[in-house]
Every structure is written in structure tokens, then in C-alpha cells.
Amino acid sequence: SLLRSPLEEENPKTASMVQELVKEKAVEALKKCFASRMEFGTAGLRAAMGPGISCMNDLTIIQTTQGFCCYLEQSFGNLKERGVVIGYDARAHPPSGGSSKRFASLAAAVFISRGVPVHLFSDITPTPFVPFTVSHLGLCAGIMVTASHNPKQDNGYKVYWENGAQIVSPHDKGISKAIEENLEPWPESWNTEEALKSPLLKDPYQDVHTQYFKAIQKHCHHREINKSSQVKIVHTSVHGVGHTFVQSAFKAFDLHPPYAVEEQKDPDPEFPTVKYPNPEEGEGVLTLSFALADKEGASVVLANDPDADRLAIAEKQESGQWRVFSGNELGALLGWWIFHCWRQQNPDTAAVKNLYMLSSTVSSKILRAIALKEGFHFEETLTGFKWMGNRARDLLDQGKTVVFAFEEAIGYMCCSAVLDKDGVSAAAIAGEMVSYLATKNISLSQQLTTIYEEYGYHISKNSYFICHDQDVIRSLFDRLRNYGGQKDSYPTECGRFSISAVRDLTTGYDSNQTDKKAVLPTSRSSQMITFTFSNGGVATMRTSGTEPKIKYYTELCAAPGNSDVTHLKKELDDLVDAIVENFFEPVKNKLQPKPE
């Protein structure tokens, strides 16, 4: 009755969906809705919108927010003075009546019912605006209602801590426990109309808009070049929130406004022109952008994902073909550019000792190569911006300068006012880099080659296998830990390639450390092993936290001067083939390859 009464009473759409399923005796569908509660992890929630405890709906949003609110009350004595911020994207699911805006209002009502001030954006915003607001206003926490680049039926609930970064463990466990203890909706939680009239509710939209664009202007170094630039750039927000914000970011940098892809510039929760609203998918999502660029004579395309926290870039080559850069290639370009600009501003050679760049352990090591040569610090973290954001905050608190962080999944932090990936500031900074290079008649592709020539080629190849059987996944990784039947013994070679080091972040073993203990945090709940090869190759195999995938990330790091790219690519292809054949054993384990 607990589940039925509030649902029936408050949101007729989800209630009638359940009644339909009951009428049709759709046992499996009902089980799926009600069998297990969504798990609250460090990335918050991500699930389909619809009825039941396994989906995003009014009731589960209220329950989640009640838990989060109680956890914040326990964590902060001054929660009622400081408050929280809530933002949302443009997602909506007409069949169940769920939408990001509705969920954000319900979350606001929960906090207001407990006397907590809420800064609720009056309109859609990019995800990075929430961590920016937490830091800018000194709040206890932030919530962003978004499913980023997931399929249209999904939504999500992403949480930031007072330091402006996404939460890491043990906060997820604490919040999860608090949710379980507060499942009964508080009487005022449903009362969004009253809450929205409360003096505790503020709209930060104008102030944050002004302050954010002021903050990113500090990262504009070539205003005169931008003003006179002849470069034409196309931008798509892929039916998400990015359009007006990227236009404003270009304006803040005195760049000419990018041409917007008309069919995709306005938010549309149906995402009608794309199969998946994920610019990482490359050409399928960018077809309309390429057509517009060809029509306008533009040479560069910028694409944000629907919540504008990530950025893809493509460039027209001399052959007339479009090249879509990988996240690792863009990490190299943006890292080079940001260091180049920093160096021009800071000619004092000693200052470089205070400078830091970060990337995740499955991303390209190109920043390490640049850091070694230029004298700044490079650190790697576990996968995901929550780790980079928290590490950046620690470094900033120690008086260090953190200028850049990136991950291969096209996420970039170019501006430490936002301790998370931000596709809006990255778009403007990329626009300035393109304009600057154009004055020297250099394309992005040419500049990337120059970076590799100077710091060493870094060639990567990432993919995955699909596997729905947890036992198969477990035995695949256990075989690597007890290789050749020897307990706690890892492989020393893979095909013709010899292995020089092994790091296992599931068990905490690292053959490179004197005490054999890994430096990065370890987690028994996920699988992750990294092999380093004598030929400069690095390969990481890991399970995905959100999908039934075993992913692999491989990179060949060559020394500067070794520029036989064809040979390096073949060497990497051979290495990947050997890893697939010897370590994944796809036939034996019935693994499905990544669909082409």
C-alpha cells in the first residue's frame, strides 16, 4: 500500500501505467518495475523513467531526496544557513509524466519542507553550472537532474558535495542507507506548489549565468585574434541544453558565433534526428553538422552531449573527408594549448613546479610525456571525473595550480571554477585554439602531429565486449590472477609481447611498487587490471559500472623521434589481437563484440 497510495494519489500517469500492467497480467514487466530499488552510487541514480521502485518517478525522486536531505543534516550543522542548488536538463517522458523539471521541483519541495534554502534554477542549465554554483555560493551540496547522453527514456540524479566535486565513497553508502530509512514520503514532500512560493526558494539563474561567463573569461588569452578570426565553426547541441550557453561562451571570448545546426539546436526530449544522443558515437550523430559545415564552408564542428558537459570535435581534412578526433587526441590538443597559453602568461621558469594536470588511468598518457619534458606535474586518478574533481580540489587547497584534467570519454575540465567536466568552457577554449592556429595556417590535425613529433606518438585503441553473465566475467579475470594455474600469478607475456608490469586495482597489487601495493584506491566490487608491456604498450581491462561490458583501453607510447606511424599502428593492432585472443578468449567465453 505504501507504493500504491502516494503513486495513485499524486501522479495519475504512473499509477495508470501500473494499473494497465496489472490488467494485462504483465508479470515480468511488473517484476521489472517493482523487484529491486535503483541503486544509489557515486554517480547518483541513472534509470528509465516510469512506474515502480526500479525507475525514476515522483515517488522514487522524493524518497531519494528525503534520504539525501537527512544525510546532509547529519553531515552539516549549518545546512539551514547554506542550502543546496538544484539544476535540470530538458528530458521528459510523456507516458509516465516524468520530466527533469518536475523531478527538480519535487526535490526542492523536500528540502524546503525541512527548512533548507534551495537555489532552484528557473530554466534548463548545463550540468557544469551545478558544481559551479556549489563553489560560487559556498553551498553544502548540489543536485543535477540529467541522464546526460543516455537514451531518451532515461533520467538521472547526480550529486555534488560542498567541495564542488561529485561525491565519492563512503558518501554513496551513507546516502543509500538514509534513503532506505526514509521511504515513507513526508507529508509536505508532495507539496511543490507551496514550496515554489516559499521565501526559502531562490533562483540563481541570472547571477550564475553572469558569474560563470566572467569566470571562463580568465581563460581567454587571444581576444584580438578571436575578434578578427576568419575561421568558420559549426556547433550542435544534439537536442540538448547547450545551444544558448555555447553561443554565450563564444561571445565571452569575442569569437564569432558558431553556426548552429537548426534541426538540433532547440532542446527536444525525443532526440528525433539521432539514434543515440551521444557525440562519442561520432559520425552518425554529426551527419547534420557536416552537411551544414559543407554548405557554409566551415572547417571545424563542435558537438556537445545533451547536458553539455562533454565535447566532441571534428575537422575537415584536405581530402574533403571529416576527421572525428578521439577523446585522447583532444586531450593532447587541449593539454598542449592550455600549457602553451599558461607558459606565455608565466615566463618565470620556477612557476612550472606548482602546475598540475590530471587524467584518468584509462586515458592517454600524453600529458605525462608533455609534463616530463616541460617540468610540470602530471597525476593519474581512477576512472571518472569524480576522482579528478576531488583530487583537483585537494591540490587547489594546497595552493597548487590545476590547469587541465581530461578523460578519454570526451570530458575536459579546462577551468578550475568547475571541478567537473565542462563542455561549454571547453567549446570556447577550443574555438580560440582553432582561431590561433589558423593565423599560422595550421590545422588541428597538423598540430596534433606536431605534438606527437615533439613528445612522442601516443596511439590508442579502445573497445569492449558485451557479456551478461557475471560468472563468466569473474572467471575471465580470476584466470588472469592465477595464470597457468599458479595461484596469485599474473601472465608474463601475451602472444609475442612481454609484460613488464601488472597493476590490479581489484586486489590492490602493483608489481611496480617496492611493497607491491597499488597507490590508487582499490575496489573489490569492480574488475580492473592494467598490463604494461616492454614495447611501451599499456592495456587496461575493466568492467563497466553501468553496462554489461568488459572494456579494454590500449595505448602505445613511443619515444620522441620514433615517427613511423604505420609501424606503430600495426604494432598496436597486433598487441590488441594478442590480448583479445589470449586474455578475453571471446569464443570460449561467448563474448559479443562491440556492434559496428
Q: Which residues are catalytic?
A: 148
Let me know: does 240 contact 307? Beta carbons within 8 Å.
yes
Q: Is the alpha carbon torsion for 436, 402, 330, 412 positive or negative?
A: negative
Query: What's the CA gap between 140 and 132, in Å, rounded?
Result: 13
Q: Distance of alpha carbon 243 from its chain centroid, rounded?
A: 19
CA distances from 475 to 154, 254, 471, 472, 479 (A): 32, 56, 6, 5, 6
- Helices 27-34 and 12-23 meet at what angle, rounded to 10? 140
Side-chain-side CA neighbours of residue 316 (13 Å):
19
Burial class (CB in 10 A: 0-12, 13-18, 19+), 572: buried
Task: Give the residue among 250, 231, 239, 247 at the shortest CA–CA distance from 438.
Answer: 231
Provide the pairing of β-strand 401-407 with 355-360. Answer: parallel
3-class secondary structure, 86: strand
The residue written with cell numbers 554529426 in the block is 286
**DSSP three-state, residue 358:** strand
Closest listed residue to residue 338, CA positions, set 445, 218, 230, 239? 218
Dihedrals phi, psi of 321, to nearest 5 degrees: -80, 155
Q: Dig out the grid coordinates for 483 from the structure.
A: 595464470
Side chain identity, residue 341 = C
Q: Check: CB of residue 301 under 8 Å from CB of residue 311.
A: no
List all residues 6 or more positions away from 379 whose beta carbon is below 8 Å from its beta carbon. 356, 357, 358, 391
Q: CA-to-CA distance for 212 and 129, rounded, in angstroms? A: 8
